[in-house]
Amino acid sequence: MEDYKKHLINQEATLMEGLARLNVLASDTILFVIDEDGKLVGSLTDGDIRRGLLRGLQLDSYVRDFIAKPPKIIQKGKYTAEQIIEYRKNNLKIIPVVDDEGRIQNIVNFRFHRSYLPVDAIIMAGGRGERLKPLTDNTPKPLLKVGEKPIIEYNIDRLVSYGIDDIWVSVRYLGEQIENHLKDGGEKGATIKYIWEDTPLGTIGAVSKAEDLSQDYVLVSNSDLLTDLNYEDFFLDFIAKDAMLSVVTIPYHVEVPYAVLETDESHVRSFKEKPTYTYYSNGGIYLMKKECLDLIPRDAFFNATDLMETLIAKGEKVASYPLHGYWLDIGKHEDFKKAQEDIKYIRF
């Protein structure tokens, strides 16, 4: 992901400086002009420069004299997926993301971003990886390489490509290695914070310790998955179903090679010739409203299934999102071997 700061220029810079910066940007020729406090005041494009020169401005004139009306923006924490889709449909290419004070926090570039979803993400990466020993004796499972990069990086890169750039990573076993590898997320175009589990807290218990969540929706995912999940479609489906929580489910088809009889105590009522039954398993990826986190006990062992059961008991809607794309849980040696082959052909 590109460094958004290369699109920023101070309003006191000269046009010559601006031209040099635009030349480096190549096809992404737009600069966002900021004041001394880092607040957005406008944008600068080749067209703005042309119009300024026609007005008599010079190469040593200040950038602030060339800017026109403020550009379209995305306000952090106050936008919808529909707004992003509308920007994309209207062929807006590069859009600044600003905080409440107007300071640029990121830039959406649709050459790199598929979307920019109003979602915070929490990746569960604290497990021991017992079934992958001895590979995990000295390396945490999320840092095992599949192809050219660690498993967890595929997950982070895909999240960031959908604009999910505020990420928490829950760590415990060899967590220092994960923290040292990912650092603050800047190299990924994200902000990464860490949740430390002092003791095992189950598949979702550590989520209760996440602080400073900025969005109304939270995505929780296992770190040992490879998937080409379309997060935008998942989010839109979640909103359309008005669910409190939605879980990615993996369809499994079971073919019975015989006729299956439906009977009561003594009679055959009907039968199906060699039927196929479809069952759905838990895919380890959950999207929920932020208030769901209030139902997770702090510093207590708690699984995602416990949360779903709690919501169902309260009469809340728990939705299923059947995934028809690629999904692999790397839990065993044969899964890890399969991942090494699949990565050659699957586009993430």
Q: What is the mean pLDDT of each run of 10 residues along the chain (348 residues)?
A: 82 93 84 92 92 92 88 90 94 92 92 95 93 95 95 96 96 96 92 93 93 93 95 97 96 85 80 83 96 94 96 97 94 94 87
Locate all alpha helices (DSSP H) within the chain, ordered by sequence: 15-25, 46-54, 81-89, 151-161, 175-182, 231-240, 304-313, 333-342
Q: Tell me what pLDDT residue 1 has.
A: 53
Residue 53 dihedral angles phi and psi, to the nearest 5°? -65, -35
Every domain of the chain and the residues it spans: 4-109, 119-342
Q: Tell me what pLDDT residue 122 has.
A: 98
Q: Cα angle at 195 between 132 and 230, to 5 degrees?
A: 70
Q: pLDDT per residue over 83-116, tens digit each?
A: 999 999 999 999 999 999 999 989 999 988 999 9
CATH tag, 4-109:
3.10.580.10
- CA atoms in the 13 A half-sphere facing the CB of 234: 31
CATH tag, 119-342:
3.90.550.10
| Fold match between domain 4-109 and domain 119-342 | no
Cβ 323 vs Cβ 227: under 8 Å? yes
Q: Tell me what pLDDT residue 346 has.
A: 83
Q: Tell me what pLDDT residue 150 has.
A: 96
Q: Tell me what pLDDT residue 271 has.
A: 80
Alpha-carbon gap, residue 200 to 171, rounded angstroms: 10
Alpha-carbon gap, residue 11 to 29, rounded angstroms: 17
pTM higher than 0.85 for the full model? yes
Q: Tell me what pLDDT residue 173 has.
A: 94
Q: Tell me what pLDDT residue 135 has.
A: 94
Q: pLDDT per residue over 118-148, tens digit each?
A: 999 999 999 988 999 999 999 999 999 999 9
Query: Of 106, 224, 203, which Cα lies nearest the Cα of 154?
Result: 224
